[in-house]
């Protein structure tokens, strides 16, 4: 299994903090966000390599970080060669670019580099092995009002299989918010190229999940632990105060 961390955004809502520093390298509880993510990979022996996809602006910064970071796993920085929000590839576009660039033909864990979770990634991986299919981590927000027009929302059957996916719906069918954490089976990694070839939207990974779930089995790993989507000063402050990774 490979791990891919998505880190090609410009995080303008967090300027000036992120004007010259990528968001995944901002510190929470004494170390960069990305290191909290990678620290959990040690509990998943199947992961043998980590890729971080970023842009032209922050590629060198990530290279310097990787050189200094004492990782037990090899880390490779992928520069998608984009230079601004206007020409960025989007989450699925960066997944596709990385898969092609390094020739990934394996199960693949994909995590946004600005998300922190208090559940254990090893539990998520165990769920993937049990289901023998691609999986998406979904936070049970418990109240539908908490997801209305805010998140991608999934609807599942009794077995946890995704039977519906809506992006920021006005009338959500569940309180399950799809988070930016996925494990795609080797077979479904190959589906990413088909998705792009069919000229589907490359920006949101949720669009790919919705497309995939229409013809393949995809399951929701439901968790209730805290989730920090660090897209604003408010959420960054909350993570710095409350995260217990």
pLDDT of 184: 98
pTM of the model: 0.95
| 3-class secondary structure, 88 | coil
Contact between residue 183 and residue 109 where contact means Cβ atoms under 8 Å apart: yes
- State how far the alpha carbon of 231 is from the alpha carbons of 9, 46, 78, 97, in Å: 11, 30, 22, 24
**Could you tell me the pLDDT band of residue 143, with boundaries at 50, 70 and 90?**
confident
CATH of residue 217: 3.90.550.10
pLDDT, averaged across the chain: 94
Cα separation of 223 and 116, whole Å? 13
Cα separation of 144 and 119, whole Å? 22
pLDDT of 91: 94
Reported as a single tens digit per residue, the pLDDT across 170-215 is 998 999 999 999 999 999 999 999 999 999 999 889 999 999 999 9
Q: Which domain holds residue 52?
A: 2-242
Domains held by the chain: number: 1
From 5-19, 106-120, 153-167, 205-219, the region with the lowest mean pLDDT:
5-19
């Amino acid at each position: 299994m490979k791990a891919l961390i998505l880190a090609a955004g410009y995080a303008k809502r967090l300027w000036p903090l992120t004007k010259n520093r990528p968001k995944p390298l901002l510190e929470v509880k004494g170390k960069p966000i990305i290191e909290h993510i990678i620290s959990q990979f040690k509990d998943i022996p199947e992961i043998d390599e980590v890729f971080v996809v970023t842009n032209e602006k922050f590629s060198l910064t990530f290279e310097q970080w990787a050189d200094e970071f004492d990782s037990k796993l090899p880390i490779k920085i992928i520069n998608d060669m984009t230079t601004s929000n206007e020409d960025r590839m989007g989450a699925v576009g960066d997944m596709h670019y990385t898969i092609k660039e390094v020739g990934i033909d394996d199960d693949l864990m994909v995590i946004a580099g600005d998300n922190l979770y208090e559940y254990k990634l090893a539990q998520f991986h165990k769920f993937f092995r049990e289901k023998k299919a691609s999986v998406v981590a979904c936070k049970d927000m418990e109240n539908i009002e908490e997801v209305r027009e805010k998140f991608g929302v999934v609807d599942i059957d009794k077995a946890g299989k995704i039977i519906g996916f809506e992006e920021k719906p006005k009338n959500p069918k569940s309180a399950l918010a799809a988070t930016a954490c996925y494990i795609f089976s080797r077979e479904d990694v190959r589906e990413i190229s088909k998705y792009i070839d069919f000229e589907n939207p490359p920006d949101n990974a949720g669009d790919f999940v919705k497309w995939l779930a229409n013809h393949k089995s995809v399951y929701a790993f439901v968790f209730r632990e805290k989730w920090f989507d660090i897209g604003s000063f408010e959420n960054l402050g909350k993570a710095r105060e409350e995260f217990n990774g």
